[in-house]
A and B are shown apart, each in its own frame.
Chain A
């Protein structure tokens, strides 16, 4: 049986339903991310696990105990907030000791535990400081130590990296993941940053409109998006319109494109094809059997990567190629041929082929 199980949870605020029929099982020690745009219900779901909101329907069970109606302070959950939420009147040491003190642990037990936590976050010398004397990254690490000190059953992270600057964000997310692996603590991480979710998680639950659109390993989410929303939200996607031909063939601008999977529409019906920028190459190879011709609209040199925007068959296709010192990037207006294999392209489900319902696609 799973360690944390959320069954058919819904949450409404008045007439608006924010979370709809949320179903998820998390194993002990697993790192699961809730990923989605703002307003998708991910934070509300997290707050229901924490006990700050009560579900309108459904159950939440942690380690066999139904906590749906248990108040937040008796759930034994650790939470880290976007705004750090350290107690400004307490030192770093006292902040970390707070949970232990509230639990009534003896002093001789608290001091070594706090020291252990400070060592764990790599700030052993900062116990006497006050929160305002620390940088954002340090504050968030202290917040993490404070949440972990009373040995919670589940660790909840509510966009903990959003308030930090880019460099610290990357280093801290690696630290958090390493710490989580070391302690083996079951963790739920809420973020709107797909890079964070992809790089940290064992599994990602992509949410949209209060529902889980897809839940799976980062590799699967990125490479086999189950819905059009997931496909467009995770990574960058270029869409090309075509007409279904025989079998797994789609005609784009008269050129046949072969797919791995057969699109579920009748021959002659319109089909939307999706391509990842890194799947398209400018040079041919035996496995890249599909070819399309286009013109370079813009060419962006980003250092290690060159990002091209091409006009193909009346639409735009983005192509990422690696920088090569011997081959300067193509210039605007140049004609180029695109090459990609059958597994690099997929057709989007037709019932969802309503571009207006989609967030912006590059």
Chain B
């Protein structure tokens, strides 16, 4: 054996290692999807068919609950961004010492189960309390969206905060101030456009969470997609698989549209930025 073969073989082995890991990873994520898809096609015995999908789409409740959840998700994203972006900005700019505390607070929803959160809500905001959110349909809906904002807070804050770390918030703020801009102008004209990719990736996660959320919607008795999925899942065999695939596809299409819409607002595309935001998105989607 020639002495030069050893290291070359070792190099080949170390190059194969990452591929193996990536392939295993892909299989881990893709196999269940493929299996679900395959199962959803086999409603009629002996043939592949979209019968399960036809059944799902013909169900009025599907359309209602899905629309309900999409609207709730979009509202969650808007309210969440309006809450998180200024907070993250303000903390970074003026109260950097408070950052660990704010980070801790935004992480709480990961530690406190939604069931606890919703019981807290019901206790605090019931129809005989000083803030009777649950006393009316609209109030309950508002409470649901607020609950979703809380659930998506850890992801939204992390995404936005990381985005802000990537640009020099302080100097950009001072530059805009010296040019005469007030705080609102700075936030909407300078800061928000520059953390757009981060807000989008936060929005993506919020969307995904809200579309599949069960506990909050179920206990607040809201006609959302999650409870509907659970209901169908307990009564039918093939439709739940079809629903899962549909929900998955719609989520991805919505995010693609968001990305395209966000990009078209610039006169000239900024290739570096778009690629970066896509990378962030896919990284987060995987993680």
Q: Residues on A close to B: CB < 8 A?
A: 50-52, 71-79, 81, 83, 85-91, 98-99, 102-103, 128, 130, 132, 143, 146-147, 150, 156
Contacts and interface: CB of A to CB of B under 8 A. Distances in A.
Contacts of A103: 180
Counting from the closest, the 3 A-B pairs by CB-CB distance are: A99-B179, A89-B193, A85-B175
A72 B170 CA distance: 14
Interface string B193-214: 1101000000000000000000
B184 to A, nearest CB: 11
Contacts of A156: 178
Contacts of B181: 73, 98, 102
Contact of A91 (B172, B177, B193, B268): B268
A194 B32 CA distance: 68
A81 B174 contact: yes
Nearest to A78: B178
A81 B168 CA distance: 12
Contacts of B189: 98
Chain B interface mostly helix, strand, loop or mixed? Answer: helix
Interface in B145-191: 167-168, 171-172, 174-182, 185, 189-190
B200 to A, nearest CB: 14
B171 A146 contact: no
A73 B182 CA distance: 7
B14 interface: no
B173 to A, nearest CB: 9
B179 A89 contact: no
Contacts of A147: 178-179
A47 B185 CA distance: 21
A39 B114 CA distance: 51
B45 interface: no
B270 A130 contact: yes
- Size category of the binding interface on chain B: 20 to 34
A79 B268 contact: no
B190 A76 contact: no
A98 B171 contact: no
Contacts of B97: none
Contact of B177 (A52, A83, A89, A130): A52
Nearest to B186: A73
Contacts of A79: 174-175, 178
A89 B195 CA distance: 10
Nearest to A87: B190
B8 interface: no
A102 B175 contact: no
Contact of A87 (B178, B194, B270): B194
B75 to A, nearest CB: 26
B272 interface: yes
Nearest to B192: A89
Q: Which of A71, A85, A143 has the most CB of B within 10 A?
A: A85
A102 B185 contact: yes
B193 A99 contact: no
Contacts of A74: 180
15 contacts: A51-B177, A72-B177, A73-B177, A73-B179, A81-B171, A81-B174, A83-B171, A87-B172, A89-B190, A89-B266, A91-B267, A128-B268, A132-B270, A146-B179, A150-B179
Q: Which of B179, B182, B196 has the most CB of A within 10 A?
A: B179
A147 B180 CA distance: 10
Given A87-B172, A102-B180, 16 more contacts: A52-B177, A72-B174, A72-B177, A73-B180, A73-B182, A79-B178, A85-B175, A87-B194, A88-B194, A89-B193, A89-B194, A99-B180, A102-B185, A132-B270, A143-B175, A150-B180
B22 to A, nearest CB: 31
Given A85-B171, A85-B172, A130 B268 contact: yes
A317 to B, nearest CB: 44
Q: Which of A75, A99, A102, A146 has the most CB of B within 10 A?
A: A102
A103 B125 CA distance: 45
Given A83-B168, A85-B172, A72 B178 contact: yes
Contacts of B176: 73, 87, 98, 102
Q: Which of B167, B175, B190, B272 has the most CB of A within 10 A?
A: B175
A3 B172 CA distance: 28
Contacts of A102: 176, 179-181, 185
Interface in B247-281: 266-268, 270, 272
Contacts of B175: 79, 81, 85-87, 143, 146
A90 B267 CA distance: 10
B110 to A, nearest CB: 31
